[in-house]
Amino acid sequence: MLSTAPPVPSQDASTPRGQDAPDDDVPETIETRLWQEEHEWLYALLRSTANVSPSFRFPDLISACVSLVFLHANAADRIFTFLGTQLVLRPQHTPRRRESMWRSQYDLLLALQRSPANRHPHPNFQLDQLTTACVALCREHVDAESLVLRQARLNMAERATRARPARPG
């Protein structure tokens, strides 16, 4: 299992949380952590009456937030500005909740974590902080809940299209 969180001894590390590993042993979802404030906002969205048909779960909601932030050409600047001006001022021992996100959004954050903007002489931000920044930036939108749910639908449709084999002829 790939994770941004330290391993928990009681978990089976061979499969992603809550899912069987695909045939090629590459997990579809990756474990991450969210700071408490952003987790509470997503939990409220998860329980919202607007989250129906289908009801999206945390991997969908977190991934939707990441996707929405990365729709902007200046996504990295926005994320690092939030991290350097707002998240850095929060108590650093704030509880974090373990959740999952879809692999394609994880890959976006992993590339950002490995980017020059996250290397010396700049501070080194971890994946949980990058994930939290994406959720926090989404919360700032006036119509945040509907934007996140719409993006979750778009991400789901994209995953379904990628997973579908090409039709002959």
pLDDT, mean over the chain: 87
Does 85 map to a domain?
Answer: yes
Q: Is 94 exposed, middle or buried (0-12, 13-18, 19+ CB in 10 A)?
A: exposed
Reported pTM = 0.82
- Ranking 5-14, 31-40, 93-102 by mean pLDDT, the lowest is 5-14
Q: Give CA separation, 14 vs 2, 7, 24, 98, in Å.
A: 9, 11, 12, 17
Residue 22 lies in a domain: no
In a domain, 5, yes or no: no
Give domain status of residue 78, yes or no.
yes
Element (H, E) at 32: strand 29-35
Residues 78 and 137: their CA atoms lie apart, in Å, by: 8
Q: Is residue 9 part of a domain?
A: no
Q: What is the pLDDT of residue 13?
A: 38
Residue 143 lies in a domain: yes
Mean pLDDT of the 104-108 span: 96
Contacts of 79 (CB under 8 A, 6+ apart): 69, 112, 130, 133, 134, 137
User: What is the number of domains present in the chain?
Assistant: 1
Residue recorded with tokens 């996250």? 118
- Domain range for 125: 29-163
Burial of 166 (0-12, 13-18, 19+ CB in 10 A): exposed
pLDDT at residue number 166:
58
168 occurs within a structural domain: no
Q: Which residue has the higher pLDDT, 21 or 164?
A: 164
Q: In terms of pLDDT, which residue wins out, 65 or 166?
A: 65
Supply the pLDDT for residue 24. 61
Determine, yes or no, domain membership for 10: no
